[in-house]
C-alpha cells in the first residue's frame, strides 16, 4: 500500500485533532464558568492566593515560545535550516522554563497545605475548594500537554537535523506548531481565569 503525500489533508487532520483538545479543555471551562457564577466571591478570594507575577511571567514565556516556533517554520520554508533548528531548540527551552516555574508554584501551594484534600483547603469554603480543584486539574492537564508538545518538538528538532524536515517538506513541523500554539492559546485563557480572578 503506497503512502501518498497530502499536506492539506495532514493539516485538516491536525486541526480536527485540535478541536478535540479544545472540547477536552472546553468541558473544564464549562465547569469553571458554572462554579464561578455560583461562587463569585469565593473564586475572587481564592484567586488572590495565586502568584500573579509568576502567572504573567509564564504567559510571556509561552507567548515567546510560540513566537520562536512560528519564526522557525518561516525559517525552514526559506531554507534557513540552522536558524530553524536554533528556534525550535529555543522553543523547547522556553517550555522547560514554563514547567519549572509551574513546579515552583505548585510546590509552594503544596507547602501551604493547598492541594486536593490538603489540610488547608479542607478548612476553606466550598467555592474555594472548587477553585483550587479546577486550578490543579486545568493547569495540570495543560502541563501534561506542554510535556507532550516538548516531546513532539524534540522529534521535530531531530528531523530538522536529519534533513527529513526541510524546505518544501515541512508539514511535520507545521503540524507540531499547530499543536504547540493551541497549548499556548489554552494558557491564554487560563491566565485571566485563575490569576486575574482576584
Partner 1 sequence: MNTNYLEPQGRGALRDWICSTDHKRIGVLYLSVMLTMFWVAVLIGVLMRLEQMTMGPTLMTPATYNAMFTVHGVIMIFLFVLPGLPAVFGNFMLPLMIGARDVSFPRINLLSWYFFIVGGALAVASLFLGGGAPDTGWTFYVPFSLRTGTNVSLAVFAAFLLGFSSILTGINFITTVHRMRAPGMTWHRMPLFVWALYSTAWIQVIATPVIGITLLLVILERTFGIGVFDPAKGGDPVLYQHLFWIYSHPAVYVMIVPAMGAITEIIPTFARRTIFGYKAIAYSSIAIAALGSLVWAHHMFTSGMSELANTVFSLLTFIVAVPSAIKVFNWTATLYKGSTKLEAPMLYALSFIFLFCIGGLTGVMQGALALNVHLHDTYFIVGHFHYTMFGGTGFAFFAALLYWFPKMFGRTYSKKGAVVAWVHMFIGFNILYGSMMLLGLKGMPRRYFDHLPQYHHLHVVATVGSWILVAGLAIYFITLLRALLHGAKAEASPWGGLTLEWTVSSPPPVENFDVIPTVTSSPYAYNPTRTS
Partner 2 sequence: MTMNTEHAHIEPVSYKTITTVWVVLLALTAVLVAVSHVSPFWAVAAMLTLTPLKAGLVLYYFMHLKYEGPLIKGMVAVALATLVIFISMMFLDIAFR
CB nearer partner 1, residue 71 or residue 146: 146
* Three-class SS state of 166: strand
**Piece of 86-94, 129-137, 151-159, 187-195 that binds partner 1 (CB under 8 A):** 129-137
Q: How far is the CB of 58 from partner 2 (least distance, A)?
A: 11
* Region of residue 155 (left: phi > 0; alpha: psi -120 to 50; beta: else): alpha
> What span, in angstroms and rounded, lies between the C-alpha atoms of 189 and 17?
19
> What span, in angstroms and rounded, lies between the C-alpha atoms of 26 and 62?
20
CB nearer partner 2, residue 12 or residue 161: 12
- Whether the CB-CB separation of 197 and 47 falls below 8 Å is answered with yes
**Piece of 21-29, 93-101, 122-130, 146-154 that binds partner 2 (CB under 8 A):** 21-29
Q: Which of 1, 8, 82, 117 binds partner 2 (CB under 8 A)?
A: 8
| Residue matched to cell numbers 509552594 | 108
How many residues sit in the footprint of partner 2 (CB under 8 A)? 51
Footprint (CB under 8 A) of partner 2, residues 69-128: 69-71, 73-74, 77-78
Amino acid at each position: 500500500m503506497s503512502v501518498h503525500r497530502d499536506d492539506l489533508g495532514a493539516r485538516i487532520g491536525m486541526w480536527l485533532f485540535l478541536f478535540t483538545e479544545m472540547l477536552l479543555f472546553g468541558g473544564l471551562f464549562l465547569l469553571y464558568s458554572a462554579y464561578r457564577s455560583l461562587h463569585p466571591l469565593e473564586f475572587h478570594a481564592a484567586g488572590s492566593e495565586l502568584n500573579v507575577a509568576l502567572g504573567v511571567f509564564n504567559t510571556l514565556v509561552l507567548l515567546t515560545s510560540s513566537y520562536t516556533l512560528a519564526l522557525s517554520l518561516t525559517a525552514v520554508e526559506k531554507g534557513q535550516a540552522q536558524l530553524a533548528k536554533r528556534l525550535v531548540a529555543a522553543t523547547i527551552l522556553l517550555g522547560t522554563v514554563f514547567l519549572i516555574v509551574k513546579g515552583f508554584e505548585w510546590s509552594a501551594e503544596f507547602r501551604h497545605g493547598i492541594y486536593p484534600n490538603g489540610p488547608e483547603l479542607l478548612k476553606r469554603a466550598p467555592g474555594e475548594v472548587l477553585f483550587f480543584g479546577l486550578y490543579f486539574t486545568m493547569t495540570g492537564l495543560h502541563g501534561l500537554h506542554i510535556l507532550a508538545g516538548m516531546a513532539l518538538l524534540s522529534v521535530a528538532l531531530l528531523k530538522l537535523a536529519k534533513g527529513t524536515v526541510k524546505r518544501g517538506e515541512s508539514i511535520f513541523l507545521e503540524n507540531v506548531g499547530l499543536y504547540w500554539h493551541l497549548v499556548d492559546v489554552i494558557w491564554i485563557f487560563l491566565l485571566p481565569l485563575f490569576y486575574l480572578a482576584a
